[in-house]
Amino acid sequence: GQNIDQPTEMTATEGAIVQINCTYQTSGFNGLFWYQQHAGEAPTFLSYNVLDGLEEKGRFSSFLSRSKGYSYLLLKELQMKDSASYLCAVKGQAGTALIFGKGTTLSVSS
Amino acid sequence: EAGVAQSPRYKIIEKRQSVAFWCNPISGHATLYWYQQILGQGPKLLIQFQNNGVVDDSQLPKDRFSAERLKGVDSTLKIQPAKLEDSAVYLCASSPDGEFYGYTFGSGTRLTVV
């Protein structure tokens, strides 16, 4: 079967660093995506990993280990505006649609 | 470039009524997706189109849901008759050809069935 797991909720304070983990089991693998979704809004693309390793983009970084079926999203220098749901999504077999996890709701407090 | 357009933004209907949602993808994007997102959950794929052909509709409840993409551009998703459990946000997304592109989502239609 296909399964994507991520924590339901996380809390952190402004200026801190938070790591959101995602584990997956899918038929085939053609990339892992992270999306940010603010309440009442559409998901927006954050990052994409298809090879093992770390991809850095400003305050956000994403890591992938294909052998472990594991990824994380690292958010540095947290700001209040980072309070949102973070969705892990996997593209399984080529040509198929993204499969999304249930999302991790991050609350950043001052 | 213009984003993915969806309408209406909100819709409230009674159970057993019908409803239709419209989506206009980004120009040139061959692939169009409809996802259902129930409150507190991640998006769940309903149907995937490649141009005007269906690639995957395995999770579309075909006894009540239907979708079409005429001329490989705009798409409509219809529910008839609606059930209470259909209350959700219906997201349309599009992507260019190729495996290495993320999706661009529309703002979604929030459906409440009462």
Pull the structure tokens for residue B43. 């998006």
CA–CA dist A73, A71 (Å, integer): 7
Strand partners, A3: A25
Strand partners, A70: A23, A65
Cα–Cα separations (whole angstroms), residue B93 to A39, B1, B23, B26, B110: 18, 15, 9, 9, 15
What is the predicted pLDDT for the residue at B1? 65
- Residue B86 contacts residue B18 (beta carbons within 8 Å): no
Q: If you measure CA to CA, which chain A residue comes closest to B50?
A: A95
In this predicted model, what pLDDT tens digit does every residue of A89-101 receive, in sequence order?
Answer: 999 888 889 999 9
- For chain B, the residues whose C-beta falls within 8 A of a C-beta of chain A are 33, 35, 40-45, 48, 50, 55-56, 91, 99-100, 102-108
> Who contacts B19 (Cβ-Cβ below 8 Å, separation ≥6)?
B11, B13, B78, B79, B80, B82, B111
- Name the residue facing A42 among B42, B56, B105 (closest C-beta): B105
Element (H, E) at A68: none
CA angle (A10, A33, A31) in 5-degree steps: 135
DSSP three-state, residue A35: strand
In this predicted model, what pLDDT tens digit does every residue of B22-67 receive, in sequence order?
Answer: 999 999 899 999 999 999 999 999 999 998 899 999 999 999 999 9
Dihedrals φ, ψ of A52, to 5°? -60, 145
What is the predicted pLDDT for the residue at B52? 83
| Local confidence pLDDT in tens for the 110 residues of chain A | 689 999 999 999 999 999 999 999 998 999 999 999 999 899 999 999 999 999 999 999 999 999 999 999 999 999 999 999 999 999 988 888 999 999 999 999 99
